[in-house]
Amino acid sequence: MSASDQAVTERRPADWVIVLALGLLMGLQPITTDLYVPALPQMQTALGTTPSGAQQTLAVLVLAFGFGQLIWGPVADRLGRRPVLIAGLSLFVLSSLLTMLADDLSVMLLARAAQGASLSAAVVCGRAMVRDLYVPADGARMMARGLTGLGIIALSGPILGGLAAAYLGWRSTLALVGIAGAMTLVFVVTMLPESLPSHRRQSGTSIPTMLRDWWTVSKHPTFRAHALLVSSSYGGLYVYLSCSSFIFINVLGSSRQAFGAYMASISLAYLVGVAICRRLLPHRGLVGTVRVAGLAAGGAALWMLLMSLLTATTSFQPSAAWILPGMWLYGCCHGINQPCGQTGVIAAFPRHAGAASALSGFMLSALAFVIGSALGLTMKHPGWAQSIYPLTLGMAAGALMTSWVAMGRVQRDGTPPHTAH
């Protein structure tokens, strides 16, 4: 262990504080995206828009989330994590209030964009905080523990969202998002200390400085391998978030409560993946653990392709029970990939963890926005909008890409440095 790593060990707060912080900060993202998904068909009707228009409320959030990280990351490297968290979470609460009050699509899109931009502060600082306080090997295990909390939040969110949408209406789901943001803000203000010491902060955040930092980060093969991993893994997940409510509720005839339970089961599969990750990391290491996830992703792709092929070539009419196993397997591999990938993108950059986290998050969000735009076009086609293909083929593509990256790029370039430099 280097002298700087020894200093990190001596000054960090209790592990349970960091685990809880990671669960809340990283968990705010699935709360913002998942909790209102069961209410999307209701929102579509209330705002007088189309399924494609309703999907745009997720697409603009994700795009703003990506661009916001490019700003918050370098600022957090200069000012520290705590002031950025307080500012971002305060804006998140205000924008959440605006989403709850919006009465037309344009106001809703503006509010969701503000929500995504402010949400990015929580996520980028949460990831960077791990590198501030832990060496890479310990950071992966800590991230896995924190993402267990995220999984629990993601497990309860869809169930709560389905019940709220069914009994209180779609606006109640957005109110719950704002409440979660307010609770996280209170925790940060009262419990979470600053993780980035002043001597490791950057001296400036000018555009040339940021561009230079991003260029340095982007050239590193370990960063590229893990950034591709988290982006491709989230890409398939975004397909599920974006179109699953319309397909399960409108095409397969599921109730909102049942759909919330289906989403919760996928979150449970994610939790299983995180538990597998925690068990494998001490024995297989980060790269070996990702290899297991790559195999799982390949299995998920095959299942979803099989469902698509049977539907297209036979009289087979799939139900939710037939589609869910592939989604469970994908959720499990996502639970393995996220702790490893989120740690891998920042492992080589103890002095630029915010910039590395921001650039990775932007890549993830840009890919999700492209996928969302493509899905919006397919959902406008009557033949596809009333079929399972946007979900099954979209998730199969994400799973195949994830498997390719996990079994190739990460195996070659994914080992982070053992010492800070």
Q: What is the pLDDT of residues 267-296, one digit of tens each?
A: 889 889 988 988 898 888 889 999 999 999
Going along the chain from its start, the domains and CATH numbers come out as 13-192+210-413 (1.20.1250.20)
CA–CA dist 217, 39 (Å, integer)? 39
Nearest CA-CA partner of 240 in 33, 409, 28: 33
Tell me: pLDDT of 417 over 70: no
pLDDT recorded at residue 270: 86
Radius of gyration of the chain (CA): 20
For the chain, the 3-state helix, strand and coil shares in percent, each to the nearest 5, are 85, 0, 15
How far apart CA 83 and CA 88 sit, in angstroms, is 8
Tell the residue number behind the tokens 């998942």, with chain if given: 34
Q: Where is pLDDT greater, at 124 or 381?
A: 124
What is the C-alpha separation between 275 and 330, in angstroms, rounded? Answer: 15
User: What does each C-alpha distance from 141 to 9, 262, 368 come to in angstroms?
Assistant: 15, 28, 27
- Whether the CB-CB separation of 383 and 91 falls below 8 Å is answered with no
Question: CA torsion 232→234→235→237, rounded to 10°?
Answer: 130
Contact (Cβ atoms closer than 8 angstroms) between residue 110 and residue 232:
no
Residue 150: pLDDT band (50, 70, 90) is low
* Confidence at residue 112, expressed as pLDDT on a 0 to 100 scale: 93
> Residue 179: pLDDT band by 50, 70, 90 thresholds?
very high
SS3 125: helix
Closest CA to 37 of 119, 158, 154: 158
Residue 102 has pLDDT above 60, yes or no: yes
User: Is the predicted pLDDT of residue 97 greater than 90, yes or no?
Assistant: yes
Q: H or E segment at 328? A: helix 320-344
- Res 65 pLDDT > 80: yes
pLDDT, averaged across the chain: 84
Q: Which two tokens stand for residue 89?
A: 């979470």
Average pLDDT over residues 100-115: 92
Residue 134 burial by Cβ neighbours in a 10 Å radius (0-12, 13-18, 19+):
buried
Torsion angle, CA of 370/375/377/378, rounded to 10 degrees?
Answer: 150
Which pLDDT score, from 0 to 100, does residue 178 have?
93
Per the listing, tokens 């209406």 go with 169
Q: What's the burial of 412, exposed, middle or buried (CB within 10 Å: 0-12/13-18/19+)?
A: exposed
Least confident window among 44-58, 88-102, 376-390: 376-390
Per-residue pLDDT at 332 exceeds 90: yes
Which range has the worst mean pLDDT, 144-153, 241-250, 310-319, 340-349? 144-153
Quick one: pLDDT band at residue 3, thresholds 50, 70, 90? very low
- Most confident range (mean pLDDT) of 2-11, 21-30, 110-119 is 110-119
Which single residue is written with the structure tokens 């992966």? 140
Q: What average pLDDT score do residues 78-104 get?
A: 93
Q: What is the pLDDT of residues 190-217, one digit of tens each?
A: 999 988 888 777 776 667 777 777 788 8
Q: At a CB cut-off of 8 Å and minimum separation 6, what does 313 contact?
A: none
- CB neighbours (10 Å) of residue 101? 12
Per-residue pLDDT tens digits for 337-356: 988 887 788 777 767 767 77
Of 143, 190, 406, nearest to 298 by C-alpha is 406
Instruction: For residue 320, name the pLDDT band (cuts at 50, 70, 90).
Output: confident
Q: What is the pLDDT of residue 8?
A: 45
pLDDT of residue 336: 92
Q: Report which of 29, 82, 81 is spatially closest to residue 189, judged by C-alpha positions.
A: 82
